[in-house]
Amino acid sequence: MSEGSPAPPEPEPQNPGGLVARYRVPVVTGGVVAATAAAIVLPLWLAPGPPYTEVPTCEELFTEELTSELHLGDVGMVGLGNEDRSYPSLNMPDGPDRTCFDVQDNSLALTVTRYDAEADSPDYSEVRQTVADRRKTRREWLEGSTQPDVPYTATEVEELDTGDEGFASLYEPSDEKRWDYAEWTPTGDGRSHAVAVFNTRNLLVRVTAYGSGNQTLRSPLATVQRVAPALEERIADTGETA
């Protein structure tokens, strides 16, 4: 182009108002719609159900079908009263409303404590905090920062995807405490036990599996991890609510 020649006109913008312009607004709009839908639906997902007014019986919870599905073998769960809790592990400080115990092999126990729904907040924060506090304490055991006067210590603590809050922990005695542990555990020959703790609404649930020579319950931690969610379903199916 020679000097003095007029400059060529600026090129027209390609695809004016094209893909970017055409789809920019729908994307933003779609995001707003999605956010609005989430704001409407999310509270429905998080809303707790009504409180339980009655705890199901041991027979309602541990049906023959349930024990078969969980491969619990000859476990025979029966209800115990306060006067029947002769084993130290069943003397719970929170005074459970329901205690179920395996009278065949002494290898499985369940306690369920019902929190007063009127005294608790609508989201059952009191019982949830109880689970959180116990989890924290067990992790402190695991880390060695605290150790209560019991013949065992926590060796594993895992999150439990059951209920509103939950965790499972494995306990084993030290070499120095193994004989004390043998007297403490109801099986008499176990070398470990596991506990799953969770809450479902206003119920605090504690499942304990004691290691023993029983082939079925030789892995206590795996046992409570599969029993806990099944019990949550049974409670939902058979528990009475307000």
Phi, psi of 6 (to 5 degrees): -65, 140
pLDDT at 85: 53
pLDDT at 4 over 70: no
Whole-structure pTM value: 0.77
Q: pLDDT of 83-121, one tens digit each?
A: 555 555 555 555 788 999 998 888 899 999 999 876 657
Task: State both tokens at 146.
Answer: 């605290």
Name which residue leads in pLDDT, 45 or 172: 172
Q: Which helix (H) or strand (E) holds 41?
A: helix 19-46
Q: What whole-number distance in Å separates Cα of residue 39 and Cα of residue 41?
A: 6
Cβ-Cβ contacts under 8 Å for 173 (sequence gap 6 or more): 151, 152, 153, 180, 181, 191
Q: Given pLDDT bands bounded at 50, 70 and 90, which one contains residue 170?
A: very high
pLDDT at 238: 96
Task: State both tokens at 109.
Answer: 């126990």
Alpha carbon 135 to its chain's center = 11
What's the residue count for the chain? 242
Name which residue leads in pLDDT, 151 or 74: 151
Q: What whole-number distance in Å separates Cα of residue 194 and Cα of residue 39?
A: 40
3-state percent breakdown (helix, strand, coil) of the chain, nearest 5:
40, 20, 40
Domains of the chain in sequence order: 52-241 (3.40.1000)
Q: How do 153-159 and 165-172 pair as beta strands?
A: antiparallel
Q: Given pLDDT bands bounded at 50, 70 and 90, which one contains residue 186?
A: confident
Q: pLDDT of 143-158, one tens digit each?
A: 988 888 899 999 999 9
For residue 173, the SS3 value is coil
Phi, psi of 56 (to 5 degrees): -60, 155
pLDDT at 53 over 70: yes
Q: Given pLDDT bands bounded at 50, 70 and 90, which one contains residue 43?
A: very low
Q: Is 41 left (phi over 0), alpha (psi -120 to 50) or beta?
A: alpha
